[in-house]
């Protein structure tokens, strides 16, 4: 059953190449003056293991397992995922400029799958964002960071200062929406990664120490 699900996932990813996405416009916010030159996503900045229950939905295909993210140094993280039965699915090291594949299950060893995971986790684990413009609405301070053809809108909760959303765009097209629930700046209790051009959704839920034992 697990192998059939993985094969269906691969086929779905190939089909997704032919789907387009919509332009993104920031609405309901006003420009403000800000002294912030750089903002950061600190959720994966600790040296401790980040362990999550992971649910992947790609069209009608569902894959679940355990995802572990480990910061190796200031630039590189290691990401490993196992199935619910404890079988290793993929293991890789990633930074902004480098990618090293340590292991991948043969059923997942397809260029499209590897590219999809590499790109998504590279965006998720990106830490520093130079600020080009600042905005605010009733609930959030919003920082726009531009680099090449990419733009990131980072939403920080006004009350507690925690990062709650990142909207990633490319060529002015909305690509991925990351939303976070957190109580600390360095750890997200849950995360939702939603593609806007593909029907791809990844959800991560914190595994507590009790659940791991």
Beta-ladder partners of 191: 180, 204
H or E segment at 9? Answer: helix 2-15
- The answer on pLDDT for 180 being more than 90 is yes
- DSSP classification of residue 125: T
Residue 10 banded pLDDT, cuts 50, 70, 90: low
Q: What is the CATH number of the domain that holds 109?
A: 2.50.20
pTM: 0.86
Structural domain range at position 104: 2-212
Give the tens place of pLDDT for each residue, 107-120: 888 888 888 889 99
What beta strand segments (E) does the chain contain? 30-31, 38-40, 50-58, 61-71, 77-83, 88-94, 99-104, 128-130, 133-136, 140-147, 150-157, 163-170, 173-184, 187-195, 200-206
Main-chain dihedrals φ then ψ at residue 176, nearest 5 degrees: -140, 140
Task: Give the pLDDT confidence of 53-110 residue by residue, as tens digits.
Answer: 999 887 667 889 999 999 999 999 999 999 988 899 999 999 999 999 999 998 888 8
How many independent structural domains does the chain possess?
1
**What is the sign, positive or negative, of the torsion defined by CA atoms of 8, 206, 197, 79?**
negative
């Amino acid at each position: 059953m697990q192998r059939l699900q993985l094969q269906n996932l691969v086929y779905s990813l190939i089909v997704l190449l032919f789907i387009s996405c919509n332009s993104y416009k920031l609405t309901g916010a006003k420009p403000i003056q800000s002294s912030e030159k750089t903002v950061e996503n600190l959720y994966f900045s600790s040296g401790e293991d980040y362990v999550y229950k992971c649910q992947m939905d790609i069209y009608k295909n569902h894959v679940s397992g355990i995802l572990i993210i480990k910061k190796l140094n200031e630039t590189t993280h290691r990401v490993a995922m196992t199935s619910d039965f404890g079988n290793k699915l993929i293991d890789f090291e990633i930074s902004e400029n480098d990618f090293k594949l340590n292991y991948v299950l043969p059923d997942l060893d397809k260029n499209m799958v590897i590219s999809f995971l590499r790109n998504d986790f590279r965006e998720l684990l990106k830490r520093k964002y130079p600020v080009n413009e600042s905005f605010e609405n009733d609930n959030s301070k919003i920082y726009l960071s531009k680099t090449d053809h990419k733009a990131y809108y980072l939403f920080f909760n006004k009350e507690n200062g925690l990062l709650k959303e990142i909207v990633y765009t490319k060529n002015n097209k909305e690509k991925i929406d990351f939303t976070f629930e957190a109580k600390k700046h360095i750890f997200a209790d849950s995360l939702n990664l939603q593609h806007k051009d593909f029907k791809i959704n990844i959800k991560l839920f914190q595994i507590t120490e009790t659940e791991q034992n």
